[in-house]
Amino acid sequence: MKKCGYIAIIGRPNVGKSTLLNHILKYKVSITSRKPQTTRHQITGVKTVKNAQFIYVDTPGLHQDEPRAINRMMNRQAMSVINDVDVVLFVVEVGKWTAAEEWILQKLGSVKVSVILVINKVDQLHNRQQEQLFEKQIRQKYHFAASFLISAKQGHLITELEQTIEQYLPVSEHFFYAEDQVTDRTERFMIAEIIREKLMRTLGQEVPYQLTVEINKCKFDEQRQLMEIFATILVERMGQKAMVIGSKGQKLKKIGSEARKDIEYMLGKKVFLELWVKVKEGWSDDERALKSLGYDL
């Protein structure tokens, strides 16, 4: 008897959804940073253990304000998945319940699948009584199938959470993915995301939200035993281009060096990485541009 099903991970930006998925998989499929809205795409992570296959869908952070096309796209991606899965993990940050969470809870009102409340970042509060009181207050707002106080960063109660998720997965005659598969995303996608992660972590508050990464070439050189990668960082204004490049190109060089190390670790190969920075005005608010750049509209 096998169990196999889809689990959506939803919540407002920066509550630790991607960190949770990476810890569960023991493999980095979703990039992370301290900045909200780091995740822009649905990322599928697959974990197969004995007779169960968990197919997790990490979604962009949900937000009420939709000022640009890219924000509307991320909301559509996140909301479209919750009715097509078997379990929903609603991730919130301990001690922080905002208008965004209330809005998401309203959206969950029509969901017919089991919703598990996941209260994350308990390692930051260090007060068991306050944690339990917060959990009790939230549980009164919705009929959750279960609730957990976890630390995705430290792995606290993740195993118990997975055991509960398995109870709600449907019985299946076969698995949907190969048992050794971890994600359905391509190498090119993962490489672009690694570069974007380094940009998110290196740059100031504004610039990361108005840039994206496009892989121009990704080819293995058999003779040199080297993966050659050429990528373009797209920004919206000339001033942003200067910020990405930095004084005498030092910032871009640092971003490239850090990204190359992670790409080499992921691929298990030596990598040559070359980055360019190009201005493409208004790309984040242009649905045609977003589609051409590989965003799922």
The domains of the chain are located at 2-172, 187-292
**What pLDDT does residue 32 have?**
78
Write down the CATH superfamily of domain 2-172. P-loop containing nucleotide triphosphate hydrolases (3.40.50.300)
**What pLDDT does residue 160 have?**
96
Q: How large is the average pLDDT for residues 175-201?
A: 93
Name the amino acid, one letter, at 155: G
Q: How large is the average pLDDT for residues 248-273?
A: 95
Angle at 235 between CA 234 and CA 236, to 5 degrees: 130
Which residues have C-beta within 8 Å of that of residue 268, sequence separation ≥ 6? Answer: none
Tell me the pairing of strands 226-235 and 146-149: unpaired
For 49, other C-beta atoms within 10 Å of its C-beta total 10
Least confident interval from 1-15, 62-76, 241-255, 264-278: 62-76
Q: How large is the average pLDDT for residues 251-268?
A: 95
Whether the predicted pLDDT of 73 surpasses 70: no
Compute the distance between CA of residue 191 and CA of residue 233 in angstroms, rounded to an integer: 12
**What pLDDT does residue 227 have?**
96
Full-model pTM:
0.84
Write down the H helix ranges in the chain: 17-25, 69-81, 99-107, 122-125, 128-139, 158-167, 187-202, 238-245, 250-267, 287-292
Highest CATH level, class, for 187-292: alpha beta
pLDDT band at 288 (very low <50, low <70, confident <90, very high): confident
Compute the distance between CA of residue 292 and CA of residue 295 in angstroms, rounded to an integer: 7
Whether the predicted pLDDT of 185 surpasses 70: yes
Sign of CA dihedral 188, 57, 160, 121: positive
Computed over every residue of the chain, the mean pLDDT equals 89
